[in-house]
Structures are given as structure tokens and as C-alpha cells.
């Protein structure tokens, strides 16, 4: 007999953060992540692979421990580290995962296709929340924005894409969004295959996506939602090199703290 819906394990929360999140005065994003991770019972594993700074991992460990959680980091700096049995055991004993910022391509080239990536997917499927800031946010979806020029207009060759962790295929994430003027590259990514919703996340802002796919904005900035579900024309297929792309039927929403977006039904809601 098949298990009832109520007895099925729900996947964990996904928390892409736009980067430069507040860490001292009022760290609402990191504090809420700690609570989802289990509060004082949390065992948060920090993965600082994207960063080449030695203090990145220990810095986040200190922050989470000051919030009452247990935390540690794993030095995954080479692909071979992802095949280490002890690193895999440490990962599996965690209640939540936090992926730091840095270089997206360091993340994808070191983690991609390894046991560590597979364990992260399995843990999230089994209920563990996964958060990532900046580069760590970009790699959460199936398709990752790895680079591209700044500017508001989508263009041919306006974005560099790479495989992500595949924790969701509902969204494509771009970070430092308003601060680095990245609307054009997010729209270029959507023009390749207008299936996913594009979410552009400002600094000190996060999208808390619950197991049912409802996104809530937390933090001091905004999130730009680019919904291509009604897109009925894209000129990407015959655009010349560096030419602007024509997109007709695209919907945009700008959401501030408390705003919500259902990634399943593609409905947006203002703060109640």
C-alpha cells in the first residue's frame, strides 16, 4: 500500500541569498536560516569552496555558533576532496548546509558530479535546508548563471551558463542583482529556454523557498521576478553576435520584504 501524503518526507527549504548579507547588527537572514536548521539542535555544515580566502569558512562557523547552533566547515578545495570518506560522513551528519560566496565556476568544477554533490541533493530531498550566498546561491538550481556582462538589456552572448546542483528546476538565480545591474544577463538566460522563473536577488536579501515552492522575500533589498510563462516571442534563435534580444510577453514583479511568489502557480503576492 502506498504511503499517504502526510507520511512522505518533505524536501528541505532552499535559501538563495543575494550576497553581502548582514552578519552583525541585525542578521535576519542568517538567524532565520539557523532556526530552520534546528536552532540549538542544528549542526550546520559550511562549504567555503567558492572562496579562496582562508577565513571564509571559520567566519561563518563563528557566526552560526554565536547564534547558538553547532557548526563546522569542510575544506573542499579540490575535486579529490569530494571523494574523501570522512568529508562525506561529516556532511551526512549535518542538519543543514550553507554554501559561501566566491567564484561560481570553482563550485561547479570542484563539486559537480561528485559524491558530495549527490549527498547534498539527497539531504535536501530528505528535508535538510540548503542555503547559499552569492555564488552559493547561483549554484542551487539545475542551471547556473556563471557570468556575463552588466546592463539592463538581454543580448546574444549576454550570459555564461553552467550546470548547477539541481536542487530545483523551477528557478534560475542571479545575485548582487540591483547593485551590479544584472537584469540583462538574467533575461538572456531565460531567453535560451523560457521554462524556469528568473529571480534576481539584491544584496542583504534572500528568497526563502519552502517545500511547496512558495518563495518569501527576507532582508533589506528586493527580488526581481522574471516570469516567462506567457512569453510568445524571443529573437534569440536568429540574433547576430552581441545583438539585443527582443522578448515579448515577459512578466516582471518587484517584491520587497514579506512579498511572496508561488513558483508552482507563478502567482505573486504583496506583503499582507
Residues with a catalytic annotation lie at: 134, 176, 203
Is residue 268 within 8 Å of residue 224, measured between CB atoms?
Answer: no
* Nearest Cα to Cα of residue 44 among 147, 137, 139, 131: 131
Instruction: Show Cβ contacts of residue 257 under 8 Å, excluding neighbours closer than 6 positions.
Output: 205, 217, 218, 219, 220, 271
Which residues make Cβ contacts (< 8 Å) with residue 32, sequence separation at least 6? 208, 218
Q: What burial class does residue 166 get, using C-beta atoms within 10 Å of its C-beta: 0-12 exposed, 13-18 middle, 19+ buried?
A: middle
CA separation for the pair 216, 135 (Å, rounded): 20
Asked if 57 and 71 count as a contact pair (C-beta separation under 8 A), the reply is: no
Ordered DSSP codes for 205-270:
EEEEE-TTSEEEEEESS-EEEEE-TT--EE-GGGPPTTPBPPEES-EEEEE-TT-EEETTTTEEE-
Q: How far apart are CA 147 and CA 104, in angstroms?
A: 8
Amino acid at each position: 500500500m502506498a504511503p499517504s501524503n502526510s507520511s512522505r518526507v518533505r524536501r528541505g527549504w532552499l535559501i538563495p541569498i543575494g550576497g553581502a548579507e548582514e552578519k552583525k547588527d541585525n542578521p535576519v537572514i542568517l538567524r532565520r536560516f539557523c532556526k530552520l536548521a534546528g536552532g540549538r539542535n542544528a549542526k550546520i555544515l559550511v562549504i567555503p569552496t567558492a572562496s579562496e580566502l582562508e577565513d571564509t569558512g571559520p567566519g561563518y562557523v563563528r557566526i552560526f555558533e554565536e547564534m547558538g547552533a553547532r557548526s563546522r566547515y569542510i575544506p573542499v578545495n579540490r575535486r579529490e576532496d569530494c571523494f574523501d570518506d570522512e568529508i562525506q560522513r561529516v556532511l551526512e551528519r549535518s542538519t543543514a548546509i550553507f554554501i559561501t560566496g566566491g567564484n561560481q565556476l570553482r563550485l561547479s568544477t570542484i563539486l559537480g558530479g561528485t559524491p558530495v554533490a549527490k549527498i547534498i541533493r539527497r539531504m535536501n530531498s530528505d528535508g535538510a535546508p540548503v542555503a547559499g550566498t552569492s555564488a552559493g546561491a547561483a549554484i542551487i538550481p539545475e542551471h547556473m548563471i556563471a557570468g556575463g556582462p552588466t546592463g539592463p538589456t538581454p543580448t546574444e552572448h549576454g550570459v555564461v551558463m553552467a550546470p548547477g546542483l539541481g536542487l530545483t528546476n523551477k528557478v534560475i538565480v542571479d545575485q548582487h542583482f540591483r547593485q551590479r545591474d544584472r537584469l540583462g544577463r538574467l533575461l538572456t538566460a531565460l531567453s535560451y529556454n523560457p521554462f524556469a522563473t528568473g529571480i534576481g536577488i539584491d544584496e542583504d536579501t534572500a528568497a526563502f523557498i519552502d517545500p511547496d515552492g512558495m518563495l518569501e522575500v527576507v532582508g533589506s533589498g528586493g527580488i526581481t521576478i522574471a516570469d516567462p510563462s506567457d512569453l510568445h516571442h524571443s529573437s534569440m534563435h536568429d540574433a547576430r553576435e552581441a545583438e539585443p534580444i527582443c522578448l515579448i510577453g515577459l512578466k516582471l514583479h518587484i517584491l520587497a520584504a514579506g512579498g511572496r511568489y508561488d513558483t508552482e502557480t507563478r502567482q505573486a503576492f504583496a506583503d499582507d
